[in-house]
Structure 1
Amino acid sequence: MNKLLIFLLVQTGICFSQTTFPYNKCDDFDWTTVEIKTPRADREAFISSISKGTFFESYPIRRNEFPDYTHAIDFNNDGKRDFIYNGVYPAEGLLIEFHLNLGDKYKSIFTEMGHFCKIDFKDKIIKTLYIAQPGCCADPTTTLRIYNIEYRNGQFEFTRIFQSTMLTETTIPKKFFDELIHFETINDKYYLRSEPEIKDEPFDDFLEKNGNQIGELTKGTKGVALAEQTDSTGRVWWFVEIFPEHKILNNVFYQDSYFEPNDYGRIVGWISSRFVKRL
């Protein structure tokens, strides 16, 4: 497969595997499953060693908290303690920084915003990152990203392979399908919602939407269903990702006239399973 085709697959959100984002694992990531237990004094020493010229040096009001957000992990199974910082910095949100232990110093190899939902290893080398980034300030959305990590000849390469966006208030199912269901809508004006129920009021002045509506899907919109839930009327709802090439009308994320297929990745929400066909 040539590089151009790989790029197009990543950018359009098309994926032939059954892997997707672990939406139900983002509330409280358990660092003890991946980190090396490290004395606080060692974490303080690490922060001190990288502080010069960084926010660690210029943000003294939170200095005592920095070690609490610092975690030792062996990225490449070389027996050295590398470090991930995932915590506060001088703006809103949480900062993620990876620092590789070179023996005599640390090298920053990756920076992102958000917090972890999951970290995968392969053959004791860090392989995949699942990151959630809630919107800053009054932004009501959360962005989810997956990064693949390649380690070759002593070098790490981080590639974003997945992105989706949802309203932070979206209901997350507790149980997911074993296999994704690919689908296509067969009706126009098919509402994508933040909850598995019909709720068209009251009007939300801030989001400028009715009830739990996210936007309108048109006939022929494609996506994947990850889970289902039945409401009190017996209607079966699917928890879905809408592929990024499809415009969602009157939605809360962007104005129709400013639609760009790859700005938000897949849009996440709930749809009724009644008027869709499986692909």
Structure 2
Amino acid sequence: MSHNLLLSLLSTLLFTPIFGQVNWSELEPISQSKKAAFIRTAHSKLKQYLVDLDQTEYNLLRDCHVIDMDNDGDFDIIYNGSDGVEGDIVLVLRRDSSQFEVLLHEIGTITEFFMYEKKLESLSILNVTCCGAIHTLDLHYLTLGSPMRIQIDKAYIYYQSTEFPSNNSQAAYREYRVTSPELNMRYSPGIDTTTTVVDAQDAEKTNVIATFPQNARGWIIGKAIDQNGDVWYYMQMRAYPARTVLPYLDYDNLFYCGWMSAKHLQPVEP
């Protein structure tokens, strides 16, 4: 099994999203003075992509990280910080001789940055949407090729108020399918018709965020038991829902995440 394939599998097996912060000081091998001098060499390229560079420039030393991420002897730059009114962005610049090539430009903040044998192997970006949006994206990327490229591996979408499985509620990782004509996905384990309105355009109180058709498939990540004793599975559904308050996004490996009743889910036989 290739190392990238193993990383892809491990990222799928994570049953709660990563909301940590990368310890950049452990990854950066140069002094602050040398770092500042190197960042100045990329000023013109940064200015092309940072809309509010004039406002963020005094934070460049904090938000730019200088790392040789492809082990070619040249330092590269990872910007992980604010872009003023545009919110947080991630900008990955690979240095090739005297030029900087943009490998990744994405809204969000880096929550995982994994190096293997002195090369970047994977990173994760948490994109907490703004301006009235109700969803969050957890994006997982892998690197490939020489010269290095960064490619989206998986995207997980969920309602912003989703309750995640606790660390002691992990379930056996297995593919399941929907057995009923339709099955709702909810942001919490249980039926709630009293406390929440998930869709601003619909006053109905419910914790339903999506509805999947019969035979839709997904993977169980965690489980919980509600106050009535009913079992709920936290699912990553590979299929597109029949209806949802979440957006339909154009990713090859997009997973809708939430809680579904175990009564109407059946394991898929090998």
Instruction: Give TM-score, length-normalised by structure 1.
Output: 0.78
% same residue: 17
Moved more, 104-113 or 82-91: 104-113
Q: In 2 relative to 1, CA 236–207 (structure 1 residues): closer, same or farther, beyond 3 Å?
A: farther
2:19 corresponds in structure 1 to 27
Distance (whole Å) between structure 2 residues aligned to residue 33 and residue 41 of structure 1 = 14
Q: Secondary structure at the match of 1:247?
A: coil
Kindly state the Cα deviation for residue 178 of structure 1 after the two structures are TM-superposed.
Answer: 7.2
CA contact (8 A) 1:225 1:238 kept: yes
Between Structure 1 and Structure 2, how many residues are aligned? 256
Change (3 A) 1:113 1:278: same
Q: 2:43 aligns with which of 41, 51, 65?
A: 51
Q: In the alignment, is residue 222 of structure 1 matched against residue 217 of structure 2?
A: yes
- Aligned-pair RMSD on alpha carbons? 3.0
Matches within 5 A, 1:102-251: 102=96, 104-152=98-146, 155-175=147-167, 177=170, 179-202=172-195, 204=197, 206=200, 208=202, 210-244=205-239, 246-249=240-243, 251=244
Task: Measure the CA separation in 2 of the matches of 1:150 and 1:239.
Answer: 31
Taking a change above 3 Å as real, the CA distance of residues 27 and 260 of structure 1, as seen in their structure-2 partners, is closer
TM-score (norm 2): 0.81
Write out per-residue CA displacement over residues 163-196 of structure 1, whole angstroms, 9 at most, x where no aligned residue: 2211121112232747522001111342210111
Which residue of the partner structure matches residue 3 of structure 2?
none
Structure 1 gaps of 5+ residues are: 1-15
Q: Deviations over 1:72-104 (max 9, x none)?
A: 322122454322101111443311111224454
Shift in CA distance, 207/272, structure 1 to aligned 2, threshold 3 Å: farther
Whether the 8 Å CA contact 1:150–1:156 is kept in 2: the answer is yes
Tell me which residue corresponds to 2:5: none
Change (3 A) 1:215 1:264: farther
Shift of 1:278: 0.5
Deviations, residues 111-142 of structure 1 (Å, cap 9, x unaligned):
22212222223322111122221113221111
Q: Is 2:55–2:84's contact at 8 Å kept on the other side of the alignment?
A: no
